[in-house]
Structure 1
Amino acid sequence: MSGVEHLHELLGLPAVDFDSGAEKPSWPAAGDAAWRIRVDPYDDERDRSWEEEFAGFLDTVDPAGVRALIIGQWGESYEEDSSYPIGLLTAAADRFTSLEAVFVGDLEMEEAEISWIQQSDVTALLTAFPGLVELGVRGGSELVFPPLKHASLRSLVVESGGLPAQVVRGVLDSELPALERLELWLGVSAYGGDATADDLAPLLSGTRFPRLHHLGLRNSELANEIAAAVASAPVVARLRTLDLSSGTLGDEGAAALLEGQPLTHLTTLDLHHHFLTPPVERRVTEALEPHGVRVDLSERCEPWDNRGAAGRYTTVAE
C-alpha cells in the first residue's frame, strides 16, 4: 500500500514551508502561498514547538493577507491531537481576516502513518472562520465532526485509512448549502472505518448539498457495495465527476455501475487502483468514452496471495 505525500498546493496556491529559522531574503506575499507550518519533534538542533513556530509565522507574515494555511506535523503524532494547533489558530482568528482554506494533518508516511495521526473536532475551524471555502483533513483517529451549519464551505476532503461512521453521519447531517466538492476516504474496518453503504443514504438520495458536482467515495474496502448503491442514486444525475478510486472495486461493482442509471453526462469517472479484469475494463471504456467521459482505469491491481476478493486491498489503510 502506498502512502500519502505532502500537499503541493491548496486553494490553487503553491505550498510554501515556513521556517522561522531560515535565512531567506524574502518570503512570498502573504496571499500568494499556501503556508505550511510544521515542526520535527526529533530534530534536536531545532527544538521548537508548533506554538513557537506559529508565533514566528505571525511575526513574519501578515496574517491578514493569508488565504491558505496548511497545518503539518505539530508534535508526536501519537501523543498530541490536532486540537493543539487548531486551538492556536482559532484563538488568532481575528487576525486571519482573509483565510479561505485550511488543511489539517499534512503528514506523510515518514512522519506518521495516516491512521496514527490524532485528530480532534475539526469543526472548530468552521465555527471560527465563517468565510472558509475549503477544509481538508488527513487522519481518522479521534476525528470528530458534529453536524453544523456553514454557509461558505465549497470543498470538504477527509483523508483516512478508516473513517468512523459517526464522522460520516456528522458530515452528511450538516447544512452546507455551498458545498460543491465532497471527498471521503472511507478506509477499512481494521483501522476504524465502520461506515456502511447505508450510512451514505442521505448523501446518495440527492437531498443534501444542492450544489454538489464532485463526489469522491474513495479508498474503501466496500467499493463494490458503494458502486451498487451509487448506480441508482439520485445524486449522480447532477454530478460532473464521480470518484470511486483507491478501493477494492472489482468486476461486480463495475457491472453494477454499467447496469444502473446512465453515466454519460459525467466529465470524469475515476476508478484508478481497481481489481477489474481486462474484459470489464473494456466494457466500461466502450460504454462511456464515446460520450466524452474521461475514464481513469489506471493501476489495475492483483489480489494478495491469489486470494480472490478476500485479497483485495485499498491504497491507504494503516
Structure 2
Amino acid sequence: MTIGDHLGALYRLPAHTFPGPDARTDDLPEPDAVAWRIKADVYDGDEEWAAAFARFCAAVDTTRVRAVIVGAWEEAYETSSSVVVEALLAARERFPALRALFLGDMVMEESEISWINQTDVTPLLAGFPALEEFGVRGGTGLRFPAVSHGALRRLVVESGGLPAEVVRGIGASDLPALEHLELWLGTPDYGGDSEVADLEPVLSGARLPRLRHLALCNSEMQDAVAAAVASAPVVERLEVLDLSMGVLTDEGAGALLGGQPLTHLKKLDLHHHYLSEPFVERVRQTLEPAGVEVDLDRADAEEETEDGGTVWRYVAVGE
C-alpha cells in the first residue's frame, strides 16, 4: 500500500490548499476556519515552496491561522525539508495562534513516503512552544533529538522506516501534555533500524503521564512489539492501543493476550494483520464482550511463498 490521499483535516479543521501563483486569492476562507495546505510542485515547478509561503503570508492574516499543512516542496525526493523549516521559523512571530503543524503531506505521485527527505524537525517545536499537534511524514534524513515541550498533545511520525535515533530521541523527550503518540516504525529496507529496546522509554510511560492513545504501527517486528506491549506499564492508562499495519502473526497476538488485561481499552486496532482465523476469534471473544472495539481487518497483501518455502509478509506502507 502507498499513500494516495492528502490529509483531509488537521486540528479538527478541514484542509484547504492555498492556490497557485496564477489563481485568485480574493475569495479565500477565513484564516482560522481551515488548515492551510501550502505546497509547490515536486517536479519542475515554476514556484518554490518558500515563494508560495511568502505569497500565503501576504494574502492571509497569519495572526489568525491555527493549522498549517506543509505539502510538497521542490525535488523533495532529494532536497531536504530544511528550507521549509527555516522559512517557518523565520516567520514564527507572524503565527501567534498556530496550534497544529504537519510537515510532508505528499502522496505517491509527488513522492513515495521513503523518498521524502526530512531534516532535524525539533527546531519547529522549540520555535512554536504553543503547538498542540505536530506531524511529519518521511524518515529519510529525519532527526529528532530529545526535546522538552509543555503544550504538545499529539505527535505523529509516519515513515516506511523510522531510524532508531529518532525513536530514542522521542522516547527521551519531555512531553508532559502528550495524549496521542503515533510512530510508523517501518522496515529495515527503508531505514527502520530500531529494536524493541529502543521503545522502552515510551512503554514505561515515565515521561508521558497523560498518554491515552499509543500507536506503534507499520512494523516488520510487530510480534516483538506486541510481546513488549503485553507487560508495558503505560498500557494500563491507555484508551486506544494501535498495533496495526505491521507483520503481526499468531505469535504476537498470543503474547499480547497472554499479558496484562486489555479489557479497559476503548479500542484495539490490529488491522493489516496476518493472524489465523482461530486467533482472530480468540481476540474477539476476549475483548468484545468487555466492550472493546476491535479492528481486525486483514492485510490487503496476501502472504507470498517461494518454492523453497519462505513466506513473505509485508508492512502496509514501505516504499
Q: TM-score, normalised by structure 2?
A: 0.96
Instruction: Give the superposition deviation at 1:308.
Output: 7.4
Matches of 1:78 and 1:139, distance apart in 2 = 10
**Does 1:14 find its partner at 2:14?**
yes
Match of 1:51 in 2: 50
C-alpha displacement at 1:86, in angstroms? 1.1
**Residue 28 of structure 2 corresponds to residue 27 of structure 1:** yes
Contact 2:265 2:292 (8 Å CA) reproduced: yes
Distance 1:202 1:11, change over 3 A: same
Q: What residue number does 1:313 align with?
A: 314
Instruction: Give the SS at the match of 2:32.
Output: helix
3-state DSSP of counterpart to 1:81: coil
Q: Which runs of 4+ in 1 moved over 3 A?
A: 41-44, 306-310
SS at match of 1:89: helix
Q: CA deviation at 1:102?
A: 0.4
User: How far, CA to CA, are the matches of 1:163 and 1:120 in structure 2?
Assistant: 13
Q: Which position in structure 1 is the counterpart of 2:120? A: 121
Alpha-carbon distance in 2 for matches of 1:315, 1:304: 15
CA 1:140–1:218 in 2, change beyond 3 Å: closer, same or farther?
same
Mapping for residues 1-318 of structure 1, pairs under 5 Å = 1-19=1-19, 20-23=21-24, 25-42=26-43, 47-300=46-299, 301-305=301-305, 310-318=311-319
Q: How high is the sequence identity, in percent, across the aligned residues?
A: 56
Residues 218 and 315, structure 2, Cα contact 8 Å, conserved in 1: yes
Q: Is the 8 Å Cα contact of residues 153 and 178 (structure 2) preserved in structure 1?
A: yes
CA distance in 2, matches of 1:207, 1:246: 26
**What is the letter of the counterpart of residue 123 of structure 1?**
T
Residue 302 of structure 1, CA deviation = 2.7
Unaligned runs of 5+ in 1: none
User: CA shift at 1:7, angstroms?
Assistant: 0.4
Does the CA contact (< 8 Å) of 1:152 and 1:178 recur in 2?
Answer: yes
Cα pair 1:303 1:309 within 8 Å, conserved: no
Other structure's SS at 1:30 match: coil
Q: Give deviations 1:188-239, integer Å, cap 9, x for gaps.
A: 0111101111111111122121000000000000000000000111110000
What is the rounded CA distance, in whole Å, between the counterparts of 1:29 and 1:305 in structure 2? 54
Number of residue pairs matched by the alignment: 316
More moved, 18-27 vs 60-69: 18-27
> Which amino acid counterpart does residue 15 of structure 1 have in structure 2?
A
> In the alignment, is the contact (CA less than 8 A) between 1:71 and 1:104 conserved in 2?
yes
Q: Which amino acid in 1 is paired with 2:302?
A: E
Long gaps (5+) in structure 2 = none
RMSD: 1.4
User: Following TM superposition, by how much is the alpha carbon of 1:310 offset from its aligned partner in structure 2, in angstroms?
Assistant: 4.1
Moved more, 308-317 or 101-110: 308-317
Contact 2:34 2:67 in 1 (8 A): yes
Q: Aligned to 2:166, what secondary structure does the other structure show?
A: helix
Residues in 2 aligned to 1:291 and 1:308: alpha-carbon distance in whole angstroms: 40
